[in-house]
Amino acid sequence: MSVDAGGAASTRRSRLRAYQEQLLEKMQAAKNGAGASVAQLGLGIGGARYLVDLAEVGEIVAPPPLTAVPLTQPWYLGLANVRGNLLGVIDLAAYLGAPAASGEHAGAPRLAVFAPMLGFNCALLASQVYGLRQAGAMERDGDLLRDAEGNAWTPLSLAALVQEPRFLHVAR
C-alpha cells in the first residue's frame, strides 16, 4: 500500500469514526429525552418513506452477502453476518404486500439493524437512509406525517413490528 493510499484510508476511517460518534451522541440524547426533536430516522423502503424511533435502531450498515434460508417467506431475504452477529434480513415492502424493495437499489442499500433492547436479531433492508428527521415539525395527515417539502412519512415502530405474529413466523 502506498503512503497516499494509507493516508486516504486513515482519513476515511477518521471521518467514519467522527460520524459514528456524532450519531451515537444523538442516539444517547434521544434515549435520555434530551434532543427529542432528533429522535426519528428516515428510511426509504419500497418507494415509501418511514420514520423510525432512533432508539429502536442499533446501527446502519452496508449489507454483507446474504445466506438464503430455504422454506421461508419471500420477504425474509436471508441471514447476514454483521460483526459476528447473525441477523435475519427483512424486505419490509414485501412484508407489507408492496413490490419487493430488494430489487430497487439505484443507490447504495443499507441495513437498519434493530437495537439490542428489542431482543431481536434482525435488520430491515433500506434502499435509502434519509438521516435524522424532526417528526415534531411535521404536519399530521391521517396516519402519515408531511414534512415542509410535502414528502409523506409513515411512522414505523420496530418494537410493535417484532410483536406481530406474522413477522415472527418466517417459515412457509
User: What is the separation, in whole angstroms, between the first and last Cα of the chain?
Assistant: 49
Q: Do 58 and 70 fall within a single domain? A: yes
How confident is the model over 113-145, as pLDDT tens digits?
A: 999 999 999 999 999 999 999 999 999 999 999
Q: Out of 69-73, 100-104, 147-151, 152-156, pick the least confident.
A: 100-104
How confident is the model over 25-56, as pLDDT tens digits?
A: 655 555 555 444 557 999 999 999 999 999 99
Q: Do 51 and 136 fall within a single domain? A: yes
**What percentage of the chain reaches a pLDDT higher than 90?**
71
Q: Do 25 and 5 fall within a single domain? A: yes
Question: How many structural domains are present in the chain?
Answer: 2
How many CB atoms neighbour CB 161 within 10 A?
Answer: 20
Q: Do 117 and 55 fall within a single domain? A: yes
Mean pLDDT computed over 67-87: 96
Q: Do 27 and 41 fall within a single domain? A: no
Q: Do 65 and 28 fall within a single domain? A: no
Q: Do 68 and 140 fall within a single domain? A: yes
Q: Do 27 and 58 fall within a single domain? A: no
Q: pLDDT value at position 22?
A: 62
DSSP for 77-133, please give it: EEEEEETTEEEEEE-HHHHTTSSPGGG--SS--EEEEEPGGG---EEEEESEEEEEE
Q: Do 48 and 95 fall within a single domain? A: yes
Q: Do 23 and 106 fall within a single domain? A: no
For residue 26, the enclosing domain spans 1-34
CATH number, domain containing residue 149: 2.40.50.180
Q: Do 154 and 89 fall within a single domain? A: yes
